[in-house]
């Protein structure tokens, strides 16, 4: 696919296909009529066909043929103006470096896919454009011999006469468990490429060579004595054969006490609940029953959360072994290609500068450029996103070589230039300072251009947006527009300033029409899966949010240490990285870092069947997303006994013969041929029903190691790319049901990972020392609560769907029980808001009514409470000890668990019930990503929402209860202070957990203490005076009244 060949817009249903040129301002071709050579001054001259000689097809720099041939033979072989390498033209002799080009003399045939078509005349202009966009070295692992050696499955191509590459037996690949009549896998590479038969033979030869080397060392072959060089080679070979990763178990001195106290806490909790049930409070039966129900629910919730953390592990990767095994010197690079997906919707809420930094960090990753393709999904069809991506592609030509030359980290320019560190550390190149200053100036100019685009986009013209060539923007109506594809960078046209190739950068906006369900982010991700399957079809896919940039340039290599490991890789469906965030205040007031979840819970799940998918920072195996089952391990042979001992084992079954066998084998062969025809037809129908009616895409799903299947013509391939992103493509298929991102919840990430684990796949949790990805988090209280509300609502949707972990996935028994506990906990945790709300109000009610939820306890009963609190604190302390999480982070997490539980989770429960019972759907709003220059400016912004009402009410009620209880104790004397302490303890427990919420209501951090003191004194004074005047809750003593006895009492 040639970069910058134009924006392709079209609709498969309407049979429309349009190519729009001239939107980007590229270097224009000069008018060459009458031009002279800029090098020698002679006339440029004509070709043998009578046309003007053009040496460079990129910029048209006027050069005559002698200068052109001299530059190719003696010079740098690059155009003096655009630095693009000169390609061999018709009639020019070959020079060094032309071996990679097509073996034809005419550059007009550069993009021809079929050699039989090169003599055809009258080729349409549309087909030429499609060929230029979609073929130019687009596939991975395809060389110049592909047209001759490529062999593809005839089931999908529809041509039975074409042979199938590789073996088609079921045992040849492990992903043949997809329920279909085919049960066959296809080798994706032609025999001449790495990963094919010749490559396997080479590997086999390597084993023989290593054995011979070992015999030589032992002296068995009588060869020469091994020298130091052979020892070095053998050590490198041995190192390459080692595992690419390993588990690091938690030290037994840390994990064993942790497990012991969990078991002890379980027994203590059972004894405590028994005591509570056996000792009711008769004068406050309602309060007692409510509290017991809440405590039972808390116990169940704790079990579901605690026991999946029973086997926590850590992992180490060995990047040097990965390079030794797959990047050997003098051999083709064997690292697997990776397609990177970035999704965005609204550029006004997701700033284009954030998206640009994410894209730049992806393009500059430390990974072979021919193995990386970046796809941007613009689900809002915004011209602002399109233009910003065009500017990003131009800036990437300068930024990527700068990063790789000086090993820059991180490779997102905004974060790199804003880091307050010594940027000269470990830098030894003398030109670094000069080039860094120049690059910073270039980036500032780039930011100005992006800001200008954002400013222009704030006011939409009445006639809609117009592109630079005068064509109306196809996405002016965001709810009714065709699908759009634009390649900004590619291997045949995307070169940086130093003449090196750049990774492919593709803009994709799927088709949207009224009356179709587009399934929000999950639908956009599935569209990217399909269009990437048609264009590049990498075996692995990295999913990132638009505000999550690559902080560790070796992140893809870290994932490959697991996915390409020959021991464990084949059963790994995805590698999940923890989420890390920038721009959070030092105290992390609202637990935005979510450290307890990412550093404790996820490590525990990694020891069972793997972590859950959290929506970003995840590298997938494409075959797992396609719904295939993991490869099966070798089965234990079943015990077979002889006929004489029927008590043990099973008897041998004799083969059954039918009557047709006696008639000869001819009839059997004929019937077998008919069965093959039926199987072929049924397989094709089944695949179309599963993956959709795209022959090219369905063929790509059979290629375990990736690669792009051929098409009958480039125009047909272009139509397929538009076809697979059309709004009606998923109708009557299994997309969103069994394939890709699963529909049915706004938290599609949890559902997608759950389906994979139910099929038997396992996932890996990778935590490199340098965080792989970093993003931005909504640090404002209202935005944070809205984000938590969306997550909780998605969990409620999953709980009431057919994919509920309580009921789904028992058939195959492939989901482990502790893993199921974790998934059940992710779907029922919003329901904890109901008992939590009741438990937070109970202390205030007890203070106001002078009643308590517990009867007077004896000394023996008090031991239950003491043991329970000690076990709670002990579990937390030992958990922090093995995980490395600080106590401050743990406490912030506990506080926000209460804040979110009584606000966002509570609203999610009611919204979820309304959606399930009444069909009232709630709209999904994109969380705004902050682009404010002020440090933590959003933290103190007050945005009132209804989510703030429940916590505010609980705070006021508890404050009133505390004032009323203390006033009552002062009024009644010393005896009333004893029962008051238990009530005050629970009330202060609530207030302390809601303290960050109170700070969020009060204003800026430096004014909070004064305001809190003033409000506290004012409220205490007012309610104390009212208490003395009204005295409503004090229990009156029984006895004669003054009117009856006449005594002045």
What integer is the mean pLDDT of 820-825?
A: 93
What region, left, alpha or beta, does residue 384 occupy, with left being phi > 0 and alpha being psi -120 to 50 degrees?
Answer: alpha
The helix/strand/coil state of 542 is strand
- The whole-number pLDDT of residue 941 equals 57
The helix/strand/coil state of 685 is helix
Say yes or no to pLDDT of 422 above 60: yes
**Least-confidence region, from 148-157, 309-318, 383-392, 712-721:** 148-157
Say yes or no to pLDDT of 461 above 80: yes
Between the CA of residue 721 and those of 363, 504, 536, 696, what are the distances in Å?
23, 16, 11, 9
Question: In which element (H, E) is residue 893 found?
Answer: helix 887-901
Site of tokens 């193995």: 371
The helix/strand/coil state of 508 is strand
Say yes or no to pLDDT of 1021 above 70: no
> In sequence order, what E strands does 890-943 have?
none
> Which distant-in-sequence residues (6+ apart) come within 8 Å of 108 by Cβ?
none
What integer is the mean pLDDT of 456-471?
A: 84
- The whole-number pLDDT of residue 679 equals 54
- Of 405, 411, 436, 404, nearest to 356 by C-alpha is 411
**Least-confidence region, from 3-7, 596-600, 705-709:** 3-7
Say yes or no to pLDDT of 1008 above 50: no
Peptide bond into 410 cis (omega under 30): yes
Say yes or no to pLDDT of 556 above 90: yes
- The whole-number pLDDT of residue 652 equals 44
Q: How many CA atoms lie within 13 A of 470 on its CB side?
A: 0
- Buried/exposed code over 774-801 (b: 16+ C-beta within 10 A; e: otherwise): bbbbbbbbbbbbbbbbbbbbbbbbbbbb
Confidence of residue 625 (pLDDT cuts 50, 70, 90): very high
> In sequence order, what E strands does 206-262 have?
245-249
Confidence of residue 1004 (pLDDT cuts 50, 70, 90): low
- The whole-number pLDDT of residue 61 equals 79
Contact 795, 747 (CB under 8 A): yes
Q: What value, to the nearest 5°, has the Cα angle with vertex 240 and ends 237 and 242?
A: 115
> Which distant-in-sequence residues (6+ apart) come within 8 Å of 168 by Cβ?
153, 184, 185, 186
- Buried/exposed code over 176-185 (b: 16+ C-beta within 10 A; e: otherwise): bbbebebebb
Say yes or no to pLDDT of 158 above 90: no
Q: How far apart are CA 896 and CA 902, in angstroms?
A: 10
> In sequence order, what E strands does 296-453 have?
313-317, 338-344, 372-378
- The whole-number pLDDT of residue 935 equals 52
The DSSP bridge partners found for residue 572 are: 762
Say yes or no to pLDDT of 1036 above 50: no
Q: How far apart are CA 856 and CA 279, in angstroms?
A: 10
User: How many residues in the chain?
Assistant: 1049
- Of 383, 379, 375, 343, nearest to 474 by C-alpha is 383
Catalytic one of 146, 749, 783, 968: 749
Between the CA of residue 116 and those of 112, 711, 846, what are the distances in Å?
9, 14, 89
Confidence of residue 451 (pLDDT cuts 50, 70, 90): very high
What is the tens place of the pLDDT at every residue in 964-1001? 888 877 777 666 666 777 788 888 888 888 888 777 66
The tokens for 513 are: 């029409």
Contact 722, 483 (CB under 8 A): yes
Higher pLDDT residue, 41 or 948?
948
Contact 366, 569 (CB under 8 A): no
Catalytic one of 146, 339, 379, 547: 379
Say yes or no to pLDDT of 432 above 80: yes
Higher pLDDT residue, 225 or 774?
774
Confidence of residue 732 (pLDDT cuts 50, 70, 90): confident
Contact 591, 353 (CB under 8 A): no
The tokens for 440 are: 């910073």
Tell me the pLDDT of the chain averaged across its residues.
75
Q: How far apart are CA 1 and CA 3, in angstroms?
A: 6
- The whole-number pLDDT of residue 624 equals 92
What is the tens place of the pLDDT at every residue in 173-214? 445 444 443 333 333 333 333 333 333 444 444 545 555 554
**Least-confidence region, from 461-475, 733-747, 783-797, 918-932:** 918-932
Say yes or no to pLDDT of 833 above 60: yes
Say yes or no to pLDDT of 931 above 60: no
Q: How many CA atoms lie within 13 A of 873 on its CB side?
A: 6
Higher pLDDT residue, 383 or 656?
383
- The whole-number pLDDT of residue 577 equals 95
**Least-confidence region, from 7-11, 295-299, 578-582, 760-764:** 7-11
**Least-confidence region, from 232-246, 519-533, 881-895:** 232-246
- The whole-number pLDDT of residue 123 equals 39
Site of tokens 């990763």: 245
Q: How far apart are CA 820 and CA 826, in angstroms?
A: 10
Say yes or no to pLDDT of 120 above 50: no
What integer is the mean pLDDT of 608-620?
A: 93
> Is-catalytic flag, 749?
yes
Higher pLDDT residue, 652 or 439?
439
Is the alpha carbon torsion for 81, 83, 88, 92 positive or negative?
A: positive
The tokens for 510 are: 């799927």
> Which distant-in-sequence residues (6+ apart) come within 8 Å of 613 by Cβ?
574, 576, 749, 750, 752, 753, 756, 763
SS (H, E, C) 466-494: ECCCCCECCCCCCCCECEEEEEEECCCCC
Say yes or no to pLDDT of 288 above 50: yes
DSSP class of residue 580? E
Higher pLDDT residue, 177 or 785?
785
What is the tens place of the pLDDT at every residue in 669-718? 343 444 554 455 556 667 778 888 888 888 888 888 888 766 555 566 77
Higher pLDDT residue, 1033 or 51?
51
> Is-catalytic flag, 379?
yes
């Amino acid at each position: 696919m040639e970069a910058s060949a134009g924006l392709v817009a079209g609709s498969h249903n309407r049979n429309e296909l349009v190519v729009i040129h001239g939107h980007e301002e590229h270097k224009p071709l000069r008018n060459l009529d009458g031009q002279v050579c800029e090098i020698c001054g002679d006339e440029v001259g004509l070709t043998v066909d009578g046309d003007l000689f053009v040496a460079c097809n990129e910029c048209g720099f006027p050069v005559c043929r002698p200068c052109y041939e001299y530059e190719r033979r003696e010079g740098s072989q690059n155009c003096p103006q655009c630095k693009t390498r000169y390609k061999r033209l018709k009639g020019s002799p070959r020079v060094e470096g032309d071996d990679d080009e097509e073996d034809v003399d005419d550059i007009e045939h550069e993009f021809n896919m079929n050699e039989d078509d090169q003599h055809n005349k009258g080729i349409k202009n549309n087909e030429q454009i499609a060929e230029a966009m979609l073929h130019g070295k687009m596939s991975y692992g395809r060389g110049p011999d592909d047209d001759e050696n490529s062999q593809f499955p005839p089931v999908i191509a529809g041509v039975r006469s074409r042979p199938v590459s590789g073996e088609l037996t079921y045992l040849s690949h492990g992903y043949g468990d997809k329920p279909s009549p085919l049960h066959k896998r296809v080798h994706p590479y032609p025999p001449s490429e790495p990963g094919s038969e010749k490559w396997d033979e080479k590997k086999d030869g390597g084993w023989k060579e290593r054995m011979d080397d070992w015999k030589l060392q032992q002296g068995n072959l009588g060869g020469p004595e091994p020298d130091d060089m052979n020892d070095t080679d053998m050590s490198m070979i041995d190192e390459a054969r080692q595992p690419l990763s390993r588990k690091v178990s938690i030290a037994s001195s840390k994990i064993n006490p942790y497990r012991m106290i969990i078991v002890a806490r379980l027994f203590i909790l059972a004894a405590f609940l028994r005591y509570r049930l056996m000792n009711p409070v008769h004068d406050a039966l309602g309060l007692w029953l409510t509290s017991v129900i809440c405590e039972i629910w808390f116990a169940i919730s704790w079990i579901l959360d605690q026991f999946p953390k029973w086997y926590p592990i850590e992992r180490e990767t060995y990047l040097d072994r990965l390079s030794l095994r797959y990047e050997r010197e003098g051999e083709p690079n064997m690292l697997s290609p990776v397609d990177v997906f970035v999704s965005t919707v609204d550029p006004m809420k997701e700033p284009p500068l954030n998206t640009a930094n994410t894209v730049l960090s992806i393009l500059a990753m430390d990974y072979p450029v021919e193995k990386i393709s970046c796809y941007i999904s613009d689900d809002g069809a915004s011209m602002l996103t399109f233009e910003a991506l065009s500017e990003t592609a131009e800036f990437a030509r300068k930024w990527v070589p700068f990063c790789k030359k000086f090993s820059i980290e991180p490779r997102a320019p905004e974060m790199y230039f804003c880091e307050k560190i010594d940027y000269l550390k470990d830098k030894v190149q003398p030109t670094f300072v000069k080039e860094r200053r120049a690059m910073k100036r270039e980036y500032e100019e780039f930011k100005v251009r992006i800001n200008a685009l954002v400013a222009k986009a704030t006011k939409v013209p009445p006639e809609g947006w117009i592109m630079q060539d005068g064509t109306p923007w196809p996405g002016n109506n965001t709810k009714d527009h065709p699908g759009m594809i634009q390649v900004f960078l590619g291997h045949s046209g995307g070169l940086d300033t130093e003449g090196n190739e750049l990774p492919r950068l593709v803009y994709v906006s799927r088709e949207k029409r009224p009356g179709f369900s587009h399934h929000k982010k999950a639908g956009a991700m599935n569209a990217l899966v399909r269009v990437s399957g048609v264009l590049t079809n990498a075996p692995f896919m990295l999913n990132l949010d638009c505000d999550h940039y690559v902080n560790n340039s070796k992140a893809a290599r870290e994932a490959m240490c697991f996915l390409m490991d020959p021991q464990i890789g084949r059963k790994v469906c995805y590698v999940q990285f923890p989420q890390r965030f920038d721009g959070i205040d030092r105290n992390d007031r609202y637990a935005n870092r979510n450290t307890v979840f990412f550093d404790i819970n996820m490590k525990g799940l990694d020891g069972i069947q793997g972590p859950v998918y959290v929506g970003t920072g995840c590298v997938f195996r494409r075959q797992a997303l396609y719904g295939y089952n993991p490869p099966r391990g070798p089965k234990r042979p079943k015990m077979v006994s002889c006929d004489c001992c029927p008590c043990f084992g099973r008897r041998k079954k004799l083969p059954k013969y039918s009557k047709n066998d006696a008639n000869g084998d001819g009839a059997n062969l004929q019937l077998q041929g008919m069965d093959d025809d039926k199987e072929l037809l049924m397989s094709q129908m089944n695949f179309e029903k599963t993956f959709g009616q795209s022959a090219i895409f369905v063929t790509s799903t059979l290629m375990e190691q990736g690669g792009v299947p051929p098409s009958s013509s480039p125009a047909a391939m272009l139509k397929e790319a538009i076809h697979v992103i059309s709004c009606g493509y998923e109708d009557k298929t299994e997309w969103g049901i069994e394939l890709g991102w699963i529909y049915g919840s706004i938290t599609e990430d949890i559902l997608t990972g759950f389906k994979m684990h139910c099929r038997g796949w396992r996932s890996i949790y990778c935590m490199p020392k340098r965080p792989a990805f970093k993003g931005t988090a909504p640090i404002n209280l209202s935005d944070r609560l809205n984000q938590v509300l969306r997550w909780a609502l998605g969990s409620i949707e999953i709980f009431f769907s057919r994919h509920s972990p309580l009921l789904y996935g028992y058939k195959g028994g492939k989901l482990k029980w502790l893993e199921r506990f974790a998934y059940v906990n992710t779907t029922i945790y919003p329901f904890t808001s109901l008992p939590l709300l009741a438990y937070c109000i109970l202390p205030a009610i007890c203070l106001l009514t002078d009643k308590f939820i517990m009867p007077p306890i004896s000394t023996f009963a008090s031991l239950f409470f003491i043991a329970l609190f000690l076990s709670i604190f002990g579990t937390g302390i030992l958990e922090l000890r093995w995980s490395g999480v600080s106590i401050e982070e743990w406490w912030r997490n506990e506080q926000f668990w209460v804040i979110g539980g009584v606000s966002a989770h509570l609203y999610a429960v009611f919204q979820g019930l309304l959606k399930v019972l009444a069909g009232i759907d709630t709209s999904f709003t994109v969380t705004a990503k902050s682009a404010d220059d002020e440090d933590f400016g959003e933290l103190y912004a007050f945005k009132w929402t209804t989510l703030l009402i429940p916590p505010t009410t609980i705070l006021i009620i508890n404050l009133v209860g505390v004032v009323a209880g203390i006033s009552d104790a002062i009024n009644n004397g010393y005896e009333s202070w004893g029962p008051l302490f238990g009530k005050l303890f629970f009330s202060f427990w609530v207030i302390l957990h809601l303290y960050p919420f109170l700070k969020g209501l009060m204003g800026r951090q430096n004014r909070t203490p004064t305001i809190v003191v003033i409000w506290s004194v004012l409220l205490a004074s007012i309610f104390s005076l009212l208490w003395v005047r009204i005295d409503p809750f004090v229990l009156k003593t029984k006895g004669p009244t003054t009117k009856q006895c006449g005594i002045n009492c």
